[in-house]
Amino acid sequence: MNILLIGSGGREHALAWKLAQSPLCDTLYAAPGNPGIAQSARCITLDVTDHEAVIAFAREKGIGLVVIGPEAPLVDGLGDSLRAFGVPVFGPSASAARLEGSKGFTKDLCTRAHIPTAAYARHADKAAALADLARFGLPVVIKADGLAAGKGVIIAETAAEAEAAIEDMFGGGFGDAGAEVVLEEFMVGEEASFFALTDGRSVVPFGSAQDHKRVGDGDTGPNTGGMGAYSPAPVLTPALEARVMAEIIVPTVETMAAEGNPYSGVLYAGLMLTEAGPKLIEYNCRFGDPECQVLMTRFEGDLAALLLAIADGQLAEAEAPEFSDDSALTIVMAAKGYPGTPEKGGAIHLPETPEAMIFHAGTAMKDGVLVANGGRVLNVTARGETVTQAQARAYAAVDAVDFPSGFCRRDIGWREVAREKGA
């Protein structure tokens, strides 16, 4: 079977690496891919916003499965266009992808399905949003409703910060994503990520992780797309995972199906573990980045077979996902300036790293030299019997990377390392 993977980041490199290991995979194509993905796939130039061109390529190459990595093509309906021509797709329809494409849509669904989440209000008018701030207290969470590359969330500690965030969103600071805003109560607890796979009827869990969103050590500085992650997240105990499935994931899938928007693909639930139990922060309609990298490092099954079963609506007949008991940890090496304007073009020299996998997130080849070509550039990923061991191996590999214009956090996994040392 020939497979087409859409995307070019670290998430897609991890998916390509795992898909290429499947006995089902004949030729793996990636559009557009990156130098790391090119080790596992044939990278091609294909405008994924041109649905007709993608369909034509799929038909020409006899593509048996399209895996859509990023959220934007899903929200844009690429999956719908391909399915209309009989091409199996892993990823939700445009109407179902609103779970990520509109934070307000998800919050309203939580209300209808009685899914635990933070109190909220939606506003399409700046004056109304400003007037409504007072009832949420401080700190308050302000979100751009639409897609903002993981950066459309502001936790305002003061009234001035909250007002500035609203002014910025309605003023175009986040493009069309800020045409509507969501105000939310600030939830107290520890964050964790939970993943589930569904074909719209059957649902299976697919692991947990903890991300590190702030750019600096000690969770300081502005939010980013993610500076590192580890899996599993022991703070999500089996009992808590069962509650997440019963109280959040399954009601979502059932409500979406009942309302005519069946969801097929991966559901990535960002959770706050509060004293009252797990609550949904938000959904993503694709694998997380960099959470995908640690999930794929631990996943021991046939990824192509599993994703095809979901695309064909046959998840109930597929083998249950199996993961290594090891922990996996990934460290994002970013270009200086990130999450602002990153310094592109810096040369990178990679070592031989037998204990680590280096996923390419924002790289390019220039005159035969690997260079930085984005904000988040590399994901250095290692496994270990504990998070502490995985962390040590990952940082040893980071220290062997020659990337003068790059930087990383030095404390990825700190919460779990502290818990392990205290045990």
Q: Are 44 and 54 in contact (CB under 8 A)?
A: no
pLDDT, tens digit (0-9, with 9 covering 90-100), for 267-292: 999 999 999 999 999 999 999 999 99
What pLDDT score was predicted for residue 148?
A: 78
Mean pLDDT of the chain: 96
% of the chain residues with pLDDT over 70: 99
What pLDDT score was predicted for residue 355?
A: 81
pLDDT, tens digit (0-9, with 9 covering 90-100), for 111-147: 999 999 999 999 999 999 999 999 999 999 999 998 8
Long-range contacts, stretch 236-242, CB < 8 angstroms, 24+ apart = 236/192, 236/194, 236/208, 236/271, 236/273, 236/278, 240/273, 240/277, 240/278, 241/194, 241/205, 241/208
> Please, what is the Cα angle at 231 between 393 and 114, to 5 degrees?
165
Q: Phi-psi bin for 208: left (phi > 0), alpha (psi -120 to 50), beta?
A: beta
For 250, how many CA atoms within 13 A lie in the half-sphere containing its CB? 10
pLDDT, tens digit (0-9, with 9 covering 90-100), for 4-43: 999 999 999 999 999 999 999 999 999 999 999 999 999 9
The model's pTM is 0.95
C-alpha separations of 367 from 25, 318, 345, 347, 364 in Å? 31, 45, 11, 11, 10
- Check whether 354 has a pLDDT greater than 80: no
Distance CA 396, CA 390 (A): 10
What pLDDT score was predicted for residue 150?
A: 67
| DSSP letters for 233-290 | -TTS-HHHHHHHIIIIIHHHHHHHHHTT----EEEEEEEEEETTEEEEEEEESS--TT
